[in-house]
Amino acid sequence: MLLAVIISSLGLPVYAQNGIAKIIVEPRIINVTVSTTFTIDIWIRDLNGDFMQEFDFTIAWDPDLMEIVSNIDHVLANDPNWITKINLLNPALGTYRLNAWTGLFGSPVNEDLSWVTLTFHCRGVGSSPVNIQNTVIYRAATGAQEIPHEVLKGAVTQDPAIPVGGISIPINKLEVITPFITLAGLIIAVSAVYVIKRRKD
């Protein structure tokens, strides 16, 4: 429930099994520090009774904040007879396109599968959505019928790196010695009263 509230607050659609096929960024929410790396997967889920014979999608991110390190597609791992038609990475624009189909001998699929893993290096402080654009899923039927689907994007928040040795907190020296000055003044005052009293006695 809490995760759903967080996702909703970031303007991300909440995942729901509503009978509609989905192309999803997983994990949906990522928090990292500058100069670290992280990975995301792009899944196609909830095909339900439909069998997919082809898909096409483009992943987009902010290249000023996220630098692509590697892209590993799982097309052949999912089915060795599937054919990758387009595998196009453009680091400068911050885009990656993957288009694959069954070919003549591959089998249409309807199970939940990850189709690509992307690894990024965090370059700067800020927030970057991970969008999925220009999406198409084709049904295993003549006429290239499209399977209705929705897109669930991700969000990456990059925080400043913590300095080696921890966070340095400035200390006001006067604040440190003030209690000791006050204590010393109190001791002097008490001593003076004691001396005066002794003299009177």
Residue 112, pLDDT score = 97
Residues of the chain with pLDDT under 70: 1-17, 142-143, 163-201
So what's the pLDDT on residue 102? 95
What are 168's two structure tokens? Answer: 């340095």
Residue 176 token pair: 């440190």
200 CB neighbour count, 10 Å cutoff? 6
- What pLDDT was estimated at residue 158? 94
Residue type, 91: P
Q: If 0-12 CB within 10 Å is exposed, 13-18 middle and 19+ buried, where does residue 134 land?
A: exposed
pLDDT of residue 6: 44
pLDDT tens by residue, 152-182: 999 999 999 876 655 554 555 545 455 655 6
54 C-beta neighbours (distance < 10 Å), count: 22
